[in-house]
Structure 1
Amino acid sequence: MTKMTTKRTILSLSLVSILALSSCLKEHDTNVSTEDFSPTFVSLVFPRGNSTVNSGPQYFNSAGLQYSADAATAVETFLIKVGGAGEFNSDITATVGVDATKIADNTDGVVYELLPDSTYEITSTSVVLPAKERTAEGTITFHPNKIDPTHTYVLPVVIKDAGGTTIASNINTIYFRVALKNRYDGVYSLRMRLEEWTAYGISTGVSGPFPKAIELTTNLANTVTHFNTNFNTELQPGFTGTPGVITGSTQFGAASPEYIFDNATNKLIDVKNTIADDGRGRTFKLNPAVTDSRFDPTDKIIYAAYMMTQTGRPNLLIYDTLTYTGSR
C-alpha cells in the first residue's frame, strides 16, 4: 500500500476577517455583545484556502474532508483567534479537545458516529497564543488508512479551556467529517465497445469514445459506483447504431453498475446493479471469457469486460476502457 501524506497550507488572515468573524457572534450569556467590540475573546476556526470557516452548528457542513483511503497521514490546521478590538498583554493557553456531545448539533440529517481515537491525534492539545498576537495555529493528524469507510464519522473539536479568557461559544466547534476516496475513485474518459444487441438498435463491433466523462465514486473501500456526466445519471452508458457504426450515445434504464475490486490484486472481481429490478431482469456480471479485467495503478486505467442481462434477450457484452483524467 502506498503511503501518502496530505498537508493543508494555511494562509494568514487580515484584521478585516477577524472583525467579520466577530460580527457573526449572536447574543448569548457566554458570548460578548454583538454591539460592543471592546471585549476580547478567543474562538476556534478552520481555515480553508483563502477564507476562514466559522464554527458552530450552522457551519456543520463546512469542515468536510476527503482523503485517499490509502493515505497513512493527513494533517489539518486550525486557528485559535482573538476577537474584538482589544488584545491580550500576556500569553493565553487554549486547551483543545473533543466534545462528543456536539454530534447532536448535526444539521444535515445524517446519523454520525464519533471518529475512533485510534484514527487521529490532536497534535496541539495546548495552543499558546502569544501576547499581542491575534492568531495561533494548532494541528490535528488523521490516519485515513485506519478509518472504516463503511461508517459515517464526525470529530467535534472545541476549545475546552482558555485560562479564564472568554470563549465565544458559537464560534468554538469544528466538525471534522472525514470521507475516504479509494484508489479507483476519480474522473475517467471512457472508450467502449458493445456486442450482441444489434437487433435493439445498439452499435456492435466497433469501439469509440463516450462523449463525456464517467465519474467513479467511492462506495466501500474496494467499490465504486458509476456516474454518467453525459446524461447526469448513474445509468449504464451505451452507443446507438448498427454493426460497425456508432450513431449516438444512449443509456440503459434500471441499470447502474458498481465495480467491485480486489484491493490486494486490483482485479475487477464483480459488477453489480445498484438499482432494483423493474421487471426486466437487468443485472450485471463479469464476462467469464475475459479473465484480466483490472485496474492498472501505474497508468490509472480500468479494463472492464462485463455483461448486462435482460429477460428474453441475449446478454449485452460491454468492453470498457476507463482512463483516469483527474480527481472528482
Structure 2
Amino acid sequence: MKKNIIKSIVLFLAVTSLTSCLKDDSLVLDPAKGVNVIEFANPGQINVIGSIYPLYVQSYAVVPEVNRTITVSYSGPQSEAPEDITVNIAVAPNSVITEYNTNQNEAYELMPTSNYTMTTTSVVIKKGTSKASFNILFKPTSFDLGKALVLPLRITSVSSGTISGNFNTILLNVGAKNRIDGLYSYKTSATTSLVPNADDKDVPLVTSGANTVKTNLLNTYANIMVYSIDPVTNKVTVVSGLGTPVTDPVSNYNPTTKVMFVKWTSGTRSFEETFTYTGVR
C-alpha cells in the first residue's frame, strides 16, 4: 500500500511538472526574437576549410578587365528581409592577410589598388529579398604574375541585424593565367626514375609567373615542380622541385597542340614527362 502511495505521488509530480513546462512561454520558440544575420555569400569553394578567414581562389585570362560579382546575404527567423537593409563594405586592413598567412603558413600580399575597381561600397538588401550584389572590376593585365595577390573585403556596418562572426570578412586570391595554365593529362616514360609509366588526369599547371607554371606532383615526387617556358622559342626548363634539375635541350612546349614534353635529370635520376592539355583550370 505504501509503495502505491509513493508511486502516485511521483506520477502526480511528473504530470504537474510537464504541465508547468508546457505553459512556460520561455520554452516556445518565438520567431520575432530571432537574430537577423548579414554575411558574405560564398563566391566559390573555400580554399581551406576551417581557416581563420575564408579565402577563395580565382584566376583569369590576361585580359584588360574582368567583372566579378560579390554577394551579401540575409538569414534570420523570416526567410526574407523584413525591411531594407543597407550593407556597407570596405577593403579590410592588411593585418587580415598577415593573420591568414600566419595561420596557414602562406605568403599572400595585398592587391594594389591599380589592379581593381570596386563599383560601390554600399548595397541594399531589399525588403522581401535575401541577397544583394555588387561588382569588382579586376585588371589582369596589370597583375604581377610572380605574386600571390589577395583582396580582403569586410562588412563594416549594417542598418539592421547582426554582422556574421564567421563570414564578415573574406579574402579573394585573384590571379592571371599565363598561356600554359590549365589542366593536363600527365604521363611518364618507362625509364623515368621514381614513378615510371605514370598516367594521371587533371593535373593542374598553375601560373607562378609570366612564363612559369607549377604543379604539386604528390603522386609522383611529392614535390612542387616549377617549369619555365621561353616565350619566343617555347623551350622548357625545369626551374626547381627535386634536387638540382638539369634540363635536356629537347624539352619544349608546343603551342598548337598544347603538349609540353620535359626531359631532365637530378643527380643520378632521369625523368621524361609529357603534359597534354585537357581544359581550363
* TM-score (ref. length: structure 2): 0.66
The answer (yes or no) to whether the contact 1:44–1:158 under 8 Å persists in 2 is: no
Alignment of 1:1-328 (within 5 A): 38-39=33-34, 41-48=36-43, 60=52, 62-68=54-60, 70-85=62-77, 90-100=83-93, 101-106=95-100, 107-163=103-159, 165-170=160-165, 171-190=167-186, 202=191, 210-213=198-201, 215-225=204-214, 227-228=216-217, 231-234=219-222, 258-263=226-231, 265=232, 267-268=234-235, 270-277=237-244, 283-287=245-249, 290=250, 293-296=252-255, 298-304=256-262, 306-308=263-265, 310=267, 321-328=274-281
Q: 1:74 to 1:232 in 2, by over 3 A?
A: farther
Q: CA RMSD in A?
A: 3.8
Residues 1-50 of structure 1, C-alpha deviations (whole Å, 9 max, x = no match):
xxxxxxxxxxxxxxxxxxxxxxxxxxxxxxxxxx985355451213346x
Residues 52-80 of structure 1, C-alpha deviations (whole Å, 9 max, x = no match):
x7xxx955564322314524444333333
Structure number with higher helix proportion: 2
Deviation of 1:294 after TM superposition, in Å, equals 2.9
Deviation of 1:98 after TM superposition, in Å, equals 0.8
Q: Partners of 2:234 and 2:60 in 1: how far apart?
A: 19
Which AA in structure 2 matches 1:260?
S
Q: Partners of 2:115 and 2:280 in 1: how far apart?
A: 24
Q: What 5-or-longer segments of structure 2 have no aligned partner?
A: 1-28
Q: Partners of 2:226 and 2:214 in 1: how far apart?
A: 4
Structure 2 residue aligned with 1:5:
none
Q: What 5-or-longer segments of structure 1 have no aligned partner?
A: 1-34, 195-201, 236-255, 278-282
The answer (yes or no) to whether the contact 2:186–2:198 under 8 Å persists in 1 is: yes
Q: Partners of 1:99 and 1:115 in 2: how far apart?
A: 11
Deviation of 1:108 after TM superposition, in Å, equals 1.6
Deviation of 1:156 after TM superposition, in Å, equals 1.9
Deviation of 1:221 after TM superposition, in Å, equals 2.7
Deviation of 1:212 after TM superposition, in Å, equals 3.1
The answer (yes or no) to whether the contact 1:46–1:63 under 8 Å persists in 2 is: no
Identity %: 27
Count of residue pairs the alignment pairs up: 241
